[in-house]
Amino acid sequence: MLRRSVILYLAWMACGAQAADALPSLKVDPSLVPPSQRPAKTGAAKPAAVPKQPAATSGAAAPAETPTTAPGVEVFPVATPGQPAAEAPVAVEAAPAPAPTKAAPASVRPAAPAAAPAAPATASNARNLPPLKVDRSLVKAPPGGRAVPPTAQAALDEAPPYRNVTTARNMPPLKVDRSLMGTPPVARRRVPAGQTGETVIAGAPAALESDVAGALPPQVPEDDETRMLKGAITLSEYVERHPESRATLIAADQLDGTTDAVMRAEGAAELRRATTSLTADSIVYEPPTDELRAQGNVRLVRGEDVVEGPSLRYQLTRSEGVFDKPRYTVRRNLQTGENLRTTTGRGEADVMEFLGENRIRMENATYSTCGPDSPDWYAQVDTLNLDFESEEGEGRNGKIIFKGVPVLYSPWLDFSLNNRRKSGFLTPTFGVTNRTGIDLLLPYYWNIAPNMDATIGLRVLGTRGLMFSNEFRYLQEDYAGKIRLDYLPSDRLAERDRYAFSMQHAHRFNERLSGSLNINSVSDRNYYTDLGSRLAITSISYLPREGALSYAGDWWTLSAKANEYQTLANRPEIYRQMPSVTFNALRSDLPGGLVFSTLANYTDFRIDNVARDQGRRAVVYPQLSLPMRNSYMFITPKVGVHLSNYDLDRGTANATQSTSLSRSIPIFSLDAGTVFERDSDLFGQGFIQTFEPRMYYVLSTYKDQSKYPVFDSALADFNFAQIFSENVFVGQDRIADSNQVTTAAISRFIDPVNGSERARLALGQRFYFSDQLVTLPGGTPRTERVASTLAAVSGELLPKTWVDAAVQYNTDLSQTERYNLTMRWNPREAQVLNASYRFRRASTTIGDVRDLDLSAQWPLTNRWYAVARHNYSIAERRLVEGLAGFEYNGGCWVGRVVFQRIATNVQRTRTALFFQLELNDFSRIGSNPLDALKRSIPGYGQINQSAADPIFGDDF
């Protein structure tokens, strides 16, 4: 990049050399001459002494002085002022040294001519020397007293020497010090002999440029490798090594012009500056205004963005200009959750306007994330604005073309260039169900603030009317929440207004005090079965409405809440808790290793049913335990007293019973276990196998509780999580009379490399020493001495195959009470098979349960995927949920067609058809089946990782 300045400087000195005094000849150290041109070493010839010549007298030509040469130094004589041109000496080519002989007399040595005119000496053997640096102290001022400008002088100081060195006239003898050699200069474009080219550094002094027009040495022919400067770098390499440089670099087959006016580059022209690169057939650059014009095969690269076209007008400093008929490629990073991906957008336009470093405007433009060879889809707009500072894009009068067919028109197309939130209309979604007919949603997203947004949508339900859907979200350092309202005025089928409202809020007042709100409400019991689209929504039985406050002390917590439930789908009403206050405490630092814990609760239960009991319940349960542990076993004895008091308002069904009840039940338990380990082998792989036996004993006294109400209690499920608990009931209304011991053994297979659990085997059994006396209303007391046996196995038993199985076997009746078996084979992403069977024997409260559940996602080809689920109740002989569909991965787009049928209750079903066209990193068209697929097919893998715009937080 800098070598042009050196040439300009040397040429400038040559122009002013006529006024300089005569200088001695130039001495060159032969060790700096390339080996191929050094004299042959046949001996150590000692140079002869050279007598002094008399000084020149006025009016006569004085002979040139022949300096004495030092050993290993060759002499290049130069002309003195006033010598005739015919007698001027030429540079002496390096020749092999003669064999050692005696010193020749001075009379036989060739003498220098008496006079010679000033003429430039040739430097045929100097052009292959290493680069030189010129000492400024040896340079005299140019004629007329014109000094080199400081900026130009600084450029000369830093400029690397030129590869073709012309011998300077009237210079004193100079030895080259290798330590003065700088970095290799920027290499000029190598072209065939006969053509010229050069590297121009914009900003060079205009005076120097005008003085040396036509004085530059010719370009080195491409095939002359011996004369090329070794270690030279290209423009690209220079920009890469000096990214902070703001210099403008130009290279071409042919360059002409001046740096203070216009520079013209013809033939494979190239211009570079910092992060901008431009190539074209021809470039006209005006350094004073920093403007350029490029014609023919123009290619502009700004960062990772590439624009190509026939012509460009551009201002480098302001990054402003106009590109005709461009083809563009833009690359941006997208943040999807915790993943950072790169997306590439491509398109064409009639005109592209650069409005600064970060803004682009295009007319009659297209945009697509497909590859350049297969644009299956593209968005076409009259105007397209891309703002990379705000990282937003918007278009007007846009339509989406898919496979040559317009599939969507919108007067506005707003999208994010980095997957961040922005205000604007989102892509509409549509679907079809048997409850609503056509279901079309037109959403608008409002990015209110970085911590606040809203989604407002119009939902057209073909058979019911127009629904307004609104969702508002907010986030602060100490609180966050979400509010949603769906309102359907005058449902044509139900003939009434219908709505759904929900609000979730969490607040942290300080480090100890926090609170929350969870409020949900719908207009009627059948709202979700009629208007919901997901099984998780349509199967809701109770909607919670709850507010809570919690305070955390050093070793205790206090919480208060008030809650009630809205009953849906013909379910029975449940109690409200207005309020419920709970106190928990734990001290594990008591003397002797004792641990104290307590539970205290006060709850006021209310219900809108005069036949049922209401009232207030107070419970206190203090406990004291002594944990004893070492590296291989543990023993924990514990004792406590359960104290309860009821203040009741009896219902009409129990009007004659007492309104005040109290009880105190002491409880003792002993928990003990140990752990053994050994090296083991499972399916040919080494593991650490553990064997963990455990015993748990519980003893509690009997208290008649038949007159106590049941506000929140039920019989606990019999499983591995429950068998090590004190009470066979959940809640505080029933405390079981217990005299029982539970034994169990667990064996784990642990990977020795990462410590993960690969498989687990478990076996448990409970033994009773007395009959059961405490039951729930209508319950049957237990009389057997041995409870059912529990067995379970889970883990990755085979490569890519997971198994989860459990069984409960009644040893007294010699029958299986229940079991379930689930298997999943997931050899790779988006390829999974699931099979599950669940059985439960009928009891006094529920009937038989026999469910078969099959689901799969499987590739049919490298692009086609099939998805399906069949959940069938064998006992009820009905389909609980059915799903079938296909997915197609088009590379830059994904198509999905899914049919779903779900049972909302015994008599009613809901069917839905999902059709979705997902344009990668752009938008989704149609209804979204992904939630249904992920819930229905365990292990489902999304065949693309698109960052398309979401619509609402929850898709009802």
The residue ranking higher by pLDDT, 426 or 244, is 426
* pLDDT score, position 935: 85
Q: Is the pLDDT of residue 580 over 80?
A: yes
Give the predicted TM-score (pTM) of the model: 0.64
Q: Is the pLDDT of residue 540 over 70?
A: yes
Confidence of residue 352 (pLDDT cuts 50, 70, 90): very high
DSSP SS3 for 581: strand
* pLDDT score, position 907: 67
CA distance 295 to 252: 14
CA distance 292 to 354: 14
* pLDDT score, position 883: 92
For residues 520 and 565, is the Cβ–Cβ distance under 8 A?
no
Residues sharing a CB contact under 8 Å with residue 721, sequence separation 6 or more, in sequence order: none
* pLDDT score, position 235: 67
DSSP SS3 for 60: coil
Return the structure tokens found at 156: 């000369």
* pLDDT score, position 516: 96
DSSP SS3 for 11: helix
Confidence of residue 319 (pLDDT cuts 50, 70, 90): confident
The residue ranking higher by pLDDT, 810 or 244, is 810
Residues sharing a CB contact under 8 Å with residue 474, sequence separation 6 or more, in sequence order: 451, 452, 480, 481, 482
Q: Where would I find the beta strands (DSSP E) of 356-436?
A: 359-367, 377-387, 392-402, 405-416, 424-425, 429-433
Return the structure tokens found at 708: 């106590």
* pLDDT score, position 365: 92
* pLDDT score, position 798: 84
The residue ranking higher by pLDDT, 788 or 313, is 313
Which of 334, 294, 337, 328 is closest to 313 using CA atoms? Answer: 294
* pLDDT score, position 13: 35
pLDDT digits (tens, 9 = 90+) for 491-500: 888 888 999 9
- H runs (alpha helix) in 57-185: 150-158
* pLDDT score, position 598: 95
DSSP SS3 for 934: helix
* pLDDT score, position 133: 53
Query: Nearest 5°: CA angle at 916, between 914 and 920?
Result: 155
Measured in degrees and rounded to the nearest 5, phi and psi for residue 108 equal -95, -5
Q: Is the pLDDT of residue 252 over 60?
A: yes
DSSP secondary structure letter of residue 593: G
For residues 142 and 16, is the Cβ–Cβ distance under 8 A?
yes
What is the pLDDT averaged over residues 255-268?
87
The residue ranking higher by pLDDT, 534 or 507, is 507
Which of 270, 263, 311, 256 is closest to 288 using CA atoms? Answer: 263
Q: Is the pLDDT of residue 531 over 90?
A: no
CA distance 533 to 914: 10
Q: Is the pLDDT of residue 351 over 60?
A: yes
Which of 580, 572, 571 is closest to 605 using CA atoms? Answer: 580
* pLDDT score, position 234: 63
Return the structure tokens found at 457: 């949508």
CA distance 38 to 74: 10
Question: Poorest-confidence range of 19-28, 393-402, 886-895?
Answer: 19-28
For residues 703 and 665, is the Cβ–Cβ distance under 8 A?
yes
Confidence of residue 805 (pLDDT cuts 50, 70, 90): very high
* pLDDT score, position 48: 42
Confidence of residue 888 (pLDDT cuts 50, 70, 90): very high
DSSP secondary structure letter of residue 719: S
Q: Exposed (0-12), middle (13-18) or buried (19+): which is 55, by Cβ within 10 Å?
A: exposed
Which of 305, 331, 329, 422 is closest to 923 using CA atoms? Answer: 422
What is the pLDDT averaged over residues 885-912?
84
CA distance 147 to 402: 69
CA distance 333 to 417: 8
Return the structure tokens found at 241: 């090594």
* pLDDT score, position 527: 86
DSSP secondary structure letter of residue 290: T
For residues 25 and 77, is the Cβ–Cβ distance under 8 A?
yes
pLDDT digits (tens, 9 = 90+) for 178-221: 445 444 444 344 444 444 333 444 333 333 333 333 334 444 44
CA distance 454 to 437: 27
What is the pLDDT averaged over residues 935-944?
88
Cis omega before residue 205 (within 30°)?
no
The residue ranking higher by pLDDT, 859 or 25, is 859
Cis omega before residue 579 (within 30°)?
yes
Strands 893-903 and 909-919: antiparallel
pLDDT digits (tens, 9 = 90+) for 452-461: 999 999 988 8
For residues 664 and 643, is the Cβ–Cβ distance under 8 A?
yes
Residue 531: in which H helix or E strand, if any?
helix 527-531
Q: Is the pLDDT of residue 306 over 70?
A: yes
Return the structure tokens found at 677: 């380990």
CA distance 768 to 204: 101
Return the structure tokens found at 733: 């209304």
CA distance 527 to 531: 6
What is the pLDDT averaged over residues 283-302?
92
pLDDT digits (tens, 9 = 90+) for 18-34: 333 444 444 555 555 55
DSSP secondary structure letter of residue 812: T
Q: Provide DSSP, 601-647.
A: EEEEEE-S-TTS-EEEEEEEEEEEE--EE-SSEEEEEEEEEEEEEEE
Instruction: Tell me what the pLDDT averaged over the chain comes to.
Output: 76
Residues sharing a CB contact under 8 Å with residue 804, sequence separation 6 or more, in sequence order: 793, 794, 820, 821, 822, 823
What is the pLDDT averaged over residues 119-138?
46
Residues sharing a CB contact under 8 Å with residue 69, sequence separation 6 or more, in sequence order: 27, 47, 75
* pLDDT score, position 185: 42
What is the pLDDT averaged over residues 853-869?
94
Between the alpha carbon of residue 688 and those of residues 155, 757, 760, 794, 800, the distances in Å are 71, 10, 12, 16, 20
CB atoms within 10 A of CB 75: 19
* pLDDT score, position 438: 84
What is the pLDDT averaged over residues 483-504?
91
The residue ranking higher by pLDDT, 394 or 625, is 625
Which CB contacts under 8 angstroms, 24+ apart, belong to 240-247?
243/274, 243/275, 244/274, 245/1, 245/274, 246/273, 246/274, 247/1, 247/201, 247/202, 247/203, 247/273
Q: Exposed (0-12), middle (13-18) or buried (19+): which is 795, by Cβ within 10 Å?
A: middle
Q: Is the pLDDT of residue 154 over 50?
A: no
* pLDDT score, position 340: 64
Q: Is the pLDDT of residue 90 over 90?
A: no
Strands 496-508 and 479-491: antiparallel
